[in-house]
Amino acid sequence: MPLEARTIEVPFVPGDGIGPEVMDSARRVVDAALIKTDDNGPSILWRELAAGESSFKSGGEWLPKETVETIRRAGVALKGPLSTPVGGGIRSLNVALRQMLDLYASVRPVRYFEGVPSPVRHPASVDLVIFRENTEDVYKGLEWKRGSDEARKMRDFLRDAFAIELTEDTGIGLKPISERATKRLVTAAIRHAISHERKVVTLVHKGNIMKFTEGAFRDWGYEVAEEEFSGQTVIESELMGPITDGKILINDRIADNMFQQVLTRPSEYSVLATPNLNGDYLADACAAQVGGLGFAPGANLGDDVAVFEPVHGTAPKYAGNDVANPCAIILSGAMMLQNLGFEHAAGTIVCAIEKTLGARIVTRDAALPTSASHFVGTRRFTEEVIMRL
C-alpha cells in the first residue's frame, strides 16, 4: 500500500539491554513532537529491524543483511545499543554496521542541561561537538593474538623486512590512518563549524609519538583547512591578534593535553576532530562532565546514510527495570529530525528536555550523585518530557 504523502518510513533497531525501553521513549517523544509542532512535517512510520543478541537468540543472525540493506535504502535509522558477542564471529556489530554503510563521521555533541548534577564546577562551559573518525585506526580491527600463526608471520615479516625483533609473547596490532579518511572527517567537522557558527575546530592527535598516523592526521587536517576552506578559516600559528573577520580558528592539541583542556578551559573549544580511539575516550570523558552517558546523543554520518544512536551501551544491569535514562536516545532522535529537515520539532524536543531537567525531574542516574531521594522511572520521565513539548 503506498504511504500517505506526509508519512516517512524510518527504520529503527531497538537494540539489547536497556535499548528497547529507551527506544520506546525516543519514538514516543519524536512522534509527539511532530504532532505538536506545525512544521508541515510528516508522521513517521517506524519499521523495526532486528540486530544484536535479541535477534540471535530468536534464531536470527547477529546482524541480518536485511537490516543493513533496509537502512542503506532508507538513508536514515534510529538505533539502540547492541551488545557485542563475546568470542569469535563479528568483532563488534556497531563497528561492522558503521563500516558496511561507510558511516565515516561519528558526531557527538556534548552540552550541559541545567538541573543535572556534574562532577565539575562549571559544566555549562562545556559545549562541544566531537567529530570522531569512524572507519579506521583501531576500528580496522587489525590485530593478532599472541602465539597465533598470524602473529608469528607478522613477527617473521617485521624481522626479515625491517630488522624489528618482537618477543614470542607479543600480541600485535596495526593502526592505519589514511589521508582520504582523515580529510573527509575534517571536512565534515569544518563544514559543521561553518553551518552552526562555531568558532574553533581543534585537531586532536598524539602526533608527538606516532608521527605517520596521528601526526599525519594533524597535517592532513591543516591541509584541508588551507586547501578547501582558506577563505573561512585561519590557522592558529599564523594568527596575528584577535580574529575580527568571523573566520574559524583551526588549531591542534596533543590528546593528553586535550583531556586537561576540556576540564580546565572548556569554553575555548567548540568542535574537536579526532582519530577513532582518541575520540572514543574523549566523548565519554566529556559526557561525564555534563552528567554522564545518559545525556550523550550521537550520530554516525556517511555521504548517503545517517544512523542516530546514543553514545552509551546496553547497560545490562538496568535492563527491564524502568530506571534507564532515555535522554541520550531522545536527543539522538532530535538530531535525526534536524537531519531530516524538521528543525522545529527537533528544537521542541531539546526545549522539553531542558524544561523537564530544569524542573529537577530526573532519572536515577542523575539523582544518585546528589543523594536526592526523588527520581522517576524511564516511562514517567518520558511522559514528563512529552507534557512539556
Which residues are annotated as catalytic?
139, 206, 256, 280
The distance of closest approach from Cβ of residue 103 to ligand NAP in the complex, given in angstroms and rounded to an integer, is 12
- Name which of 222 and 375 has its Cβ closer to ligand NAP: 375
- Please identify which residue in 293, 301, 334, 362 interacts with ligand NAP, judged by CB under 6 A: 293
- Please identify which residue in 325, 338, 348, 382 interacts with ligand NAP, judged by CB under 6 A: 325
DSSP lists the bridge partners of residue 173 as 143
- Name which of 133 and 365 has its Cβ closer to ligand NAP: 365
DSSP lists the bridge partners of residue 128 as 110
The distance of closest approach from Cβ of residue 127 to ligand NAP in the complex, given in angstroms and rounded to an integer, is 21
Burial of 221 (0-12, 13-18, 19+ CB in 10 A): buried
Q: What string marks each residue from 79 to 108 as x (binds ligand NAP by CB under 6 A) or -? A: --xxxx---------x--------------
The secondary structure of residue 85, as a DSSP letter, is P
- Is 266 an interacting residue with respect to ligand NAP (CB under 6 A)? no
- Name which of 270 and 325 has its Cβ closer to ligand NAP: 325
The neighbour count for residue 352, using CB atoms within 10 Å, is 22
The distance of closest approach from Cβ of residue 229 to ligand NAP in the complex, given in angstroms and rounded to an integer, is 31
Nearest to 295 by CA among 123, 135, 152: 123
Q: Which of these ranges, 69-77, 139-147, 321-329, 352-360, lies near ligand NAP under the rule CB under 6 A?
A: 321-329
Contacts of ligand NAP in 326-345 (CB under 6 A): 328
- Name which of 82 and 193 has its Cβ closer to ligand NAP: 82
- Name which of 23 and 254 has its Cβ closer to ligand NAP: 23
SS3 (DSSP) at 77: strand
Give the whole-angstrom CA distance, residue 288 versus residue 291.
5
- Is 14 an interacting residue with respect to ligand NAP (CB under 6 A)? no
Sequence letter at residue 364:
R
Burial of 252 (0-12, 13-18, 19+ CB in 10 A): buried
Nearest to 198 by CA among 263, 244, 250: 250
- Is 137 an interacting residue with respect to ligand NAP (CB under 6 A)? no
The distance of closest approach from Cβ of residue 329 to ligand NAP in the complex, given in angstroms and rounded to an integer, is 8
Give the whole-angstrom CA distance, residue 320 versus residue 24.
12
Q: Which of these ranges, 151-159, 176-184, 210-218, 305-313, lies near ligand NAP under the rule CB under 6 A?
A: 305-313
Which stretches within the chain are classed as H helix? Answer: 19-36, 53-57, 65-74, 93-100, 149-162, 179-195, 214-228, 255-264, 276-289, 327-339, 343-358, 364-367, 378-387
- Name which of 106 and 233 has its Cβ closer to ligand NAP: 106
Label the pairing between strands 105-111 and 127-133: antiparallel
Q: Residues in the site for ligand NAP, rule: CB under 6 A? A: 18, 22, 81-84, 94, 293-294, 309, 312-315, 324-325, 328, 365
